[in-house]
């Protein structure tokens, strides 16, 4: 069984080739994604890509409007399959990103998070200017470790100007804390969400395979291009 693809529809064909139509088993399905299911093949639920295409078009329209106003989108995913492509496209747009563990309070306690970002920037500047030579070798080693730790946690959000206009999340189930913080701060969430995710509270869900590099890459590229072309 295949999704309801149209042979002359390049978007649906691209999603199909990327494997975006693969959901999970029925046992793992969240009730909110029931209407996104086209059928079942080898016990795996198949996502209706025509419906996903409609969701993608809504996302691209929303992102295009954000681009016109120069607003920021925070790209978020801790999945190994998503980190590289997410970081690459966020950087190409000059957008902030979290490609790794979400630090609790990034949105809800931004003032404190920003202090840690500033600490990272200050230490990095001191190192680049050679101002750390005044410390002992052991102290410099400890500072280097601190810089590396801060860089791992905060380098992606150095250019975040306060609250972003939206979050773009790969797998909202895995990024539950980030989604909850966005909801609390009334920040709309764009999400690539597989059939095991609760999409009922997401403003801009795209039901699709959020576990494969091919599918993730397709959606990240589509979102990035819709921002970059406006």
Residue 5 lies in a domain: no
What pLDDT is stored for residue 47 in this prediction?
Answer: 97
What pLDDT is stored for residue 8 in this prediction?
Answer: 76
Distance CA 34, CA 47 (A): 10
Q: Which residues contact 177 (CB under 8 A, 6 or more apart)?
A: 102, 104
- The domain spanning residue 123 has which CATH number? 1.10.287
pLDDT digits (tens, 9 = 90+) for 130-142: 998 899 999 999 9
What pLDDT is stored for residue 51 in this prediction?
Answer: 97
Do 14 and 128 lie in a common domain?
no
Find the Cα–Cα–Cα–Cα dihedral 20, 21, 27, 29, rounded to 10°: 70
DSSP structural state of residue 38: E
Distance CA 129, CA 230 (A): 39
Contact 90, 157 (CB under 8 A): no
Do 56 and 29 lie in a common domain?
yes
Residue ranges for the chain with pLDDT beneath 70: 1-7, 230
Query: How many domains does the structure of the chain reveal?
Result: 2
> 157, 174, 191 — which closes off a domain?
157
Do 117 and 93 lie in a common domain?
no
How much is the pTM? Answer: 0.92
Q: Where in the sequence is the domain holding 33, given as residue range(s)? A: 10-107+163-228
Do 168 and 82 lie in a common domain?
yes
Do 140 and 208 lie in a common domain?
no
């Amino acid at each position: 069984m295949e999704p309801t693809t149209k042979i002359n529809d390049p978007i649906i064909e691209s999603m199909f080739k990327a494997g975006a139509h693969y959901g999970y088993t029925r046992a793992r399905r969240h009730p909110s994604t029931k209407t996104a299911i086209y059928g079942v093949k080898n016990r795996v639920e198949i996502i209706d890509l025509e419906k996903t295409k409609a969701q993608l078009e809504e996302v691209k329209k929303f992102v295009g409007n954000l681009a016109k106003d120069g607003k920021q989108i925070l790209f978020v995913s801790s999945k190994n399959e998503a980190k590289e492509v997410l970081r690459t496209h966020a950087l190409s747009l000059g957008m902030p990103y979290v490609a790794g563990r979400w630090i609790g309070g990034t949105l809800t306690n931004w003032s404190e998070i920003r202090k840690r970002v500033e600490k990272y920037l200050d230490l990095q500047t001191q190192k680049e200017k050679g101002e750390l030579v005044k410390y002992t070798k052991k102290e410099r080693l400890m500072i280097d470790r601190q810089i590396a730790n801060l860089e791992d946690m905060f380098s992606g959000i150095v250019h975040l100007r306060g609250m972003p206009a939206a979050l773009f999340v790969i797998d909202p189930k895995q990024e539950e804390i980030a989604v909850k913080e966005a909801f609390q701060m009334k920040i709309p969430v764009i999400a690539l969400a597989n059939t095991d995710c609760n999409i009922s509270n997401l403003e801009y869900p795209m039901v699709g395979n959020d576990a494969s590099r091919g599918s993730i890459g397709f959606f990240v590229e589509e979102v990035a291009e819709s921002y970059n072309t406006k």
